[in-house]
Amino acid sequence: MRLLFIAVLTGLTFLSGCSDDQPANKKTAAVHLVEAVPTRLANVAVLRERTGSLRAFREIQIFNQEEGRITALPYYEGDTVQAGDLLARLDDRLLLAERNRISAERKKAEKDLMRIRDLAKRKLAAETDLTRAETDLAVLRADEQIINTRLEYTQIDSPIDGIISARLTEPGNIAERYTHLLTVSDQSRLITEVQVSELLLNKLHLGDPVTMTIDALTVAAQAEPLQASITRIHPNLNPLTRTGTVEIALSPVPPGARPGQLARITLQTEKSERLLIPFVALRRSSEGEFVYLVDDQFKVESRAVRTGLRIGDDIEVLAGLSADEKVVIRGFTGLRNGLEVSLLQPAGAAE
């Protein structure tokens, strides 16, 4: 009996111990922690850096319109020329002989016309003879004008002030018609073109100041950026990349700057008030862009937004949000509409 009593007491003690431990093993609901910051209005400008290659403001390729042997080509690459300077001369002896022949025929036609007019006044020449003589003289005068124009083509003058950037032949060579002889480069201004997003393009204007850095001229970390300006905004966009072309002009040209050098362009828009959120708060799905908001009851709501330009670590919000709404920036795993959350830190403490 004593052994049976001890066994029953031990069993009751074991069952009692199991019953006491049961509440301790129950799992408590996990708290979902998130970090959120308020949306903010800020008066900021947009900065974008682009790279491009410098080129001359104008480059004119010099072609001959008459063929012949080159008798003069006085300038070489790097030489400076003024508008009207002789760049090339072609052998013109055959054209001069042709002009002399036409000139002699024209003088004879003028005398014939005078004689026929005198006869016509006395009714001794037919009207058709007078018309024929006038026509012959008009044709010879036109031929003479043509040959004079062709003679002008044997002497090629510079159309602009500039620098010879290419010399492609030598005196003594036979230049067939429309041969590229020289290139004259106007480097009074240097131009570069950069591709700009459609979102930024409408915020730029002709004449806007631009800063430029040329790697070849940056010999010290303290080198000052060069001042340039927007001189042209192309009207059409690339339909594949949604970018447009902006032309930047550098004037005056600093010593050592040359066409072909790499230029780094910093574009800056005017300051304006923009609604900003941290870029990390932006989420994307097949339906578009959205953010998670935390309301006053600490419940989560997803909301679609339309964004604009990226500005540093922030992004501009064009539609979908207002100022001082709390957007989640950390703790996205498992986040869903209606979920109650706890803030990791007070809203606005995170930068």
Most confident of 153-157, 207-211, 216-220, 250-254: 153-157
Packing angle of the helix pair 127-153, 93-121 (nearest 10 deg): 160
Q: What value does the mean pLDDT take over residues 304-316? A: 87
Instruction: Look at residue 242 and tell me whether its pLDDT is greater than 70.
Output: yes
193 class by beta-carbon count within 10 Å (0-12 exposed, 13-18 middle, 19+ buried): middle
Task: Give the pLDDT confidence of 22-45 residue by residue, as tens digits.
Answer: 444 444 556 788 888 888 888 887
Provide the token pair at 59.
């480059």
Strand partners, 273: 43
Nearest alpha carbon to residue 213 among 199, 228, 197, 201: 228
The reported pTM is 0.69
Provide the token pair at 224.
């000052």
Cα 326 from chain centre: 38
Tokens 């097949």 belong to 286
Strand partners, 62: 182
φ/ψ (deg, to 5) at 143? -65, -40
pLDDT at 58: 94
pLDDT at 9: 42
Confidence of residue 203 (pLDDT cuts 50, 70, 90): confident
Query: Quick check: 39 and 329 in contact, CB under 8 A?
Result: no
Tell whether omega for the bond before 252 is within 30 degrees of 0, i.e. cis.
yes
Query: Quick check: 302 and 292 in contact, CB under 8 A?
Result: yes
Most confident of 24-38, 83-97, 203-217, 322-336: 83-97
Instruction: Look at residue 4 and tell me whether its pLDDT is greater than 80.
Output: no
Rounded Cα–Cα distance for residues 309 and 284 (Å)? 16
Instruction: Look at residue 276 and tell me whether its pLDDT is greater than 80.
Output: yes
Rounded Cα–Cα distance for residues 195 and 210 (Å)? 14
Percent of the chain clearing pLDDT 90 (strictly above): 52
Query: Quick check: 12 and 6 in contact, CB under 8 A?
Result: no
Lowest mean pLDDT among 76-90, 185-199, 258-272: 258-272
Q: What value does the mean pLDDT take over residues 155-162? A: 96
- Helix/strand/coil for 333: coil
Q: What value does the mean pLDDT take over residues 113-140? A: 90
Lowest mean pLDDT among 6-15, 208-217, 315-324: 6-15
Query: Quick check: 299 and 338 in contact, CB under 8 A?
Result: yes
Nearest alpha carbon to residue 233 among 247, 252, 222: 247
* DSSP H or E stretch at residue 152: helix 127-153
Task: Give the pLDDT confidence of 108-125 residue by residue, as tens digits.
Answer: 999 999 999 988 888 888
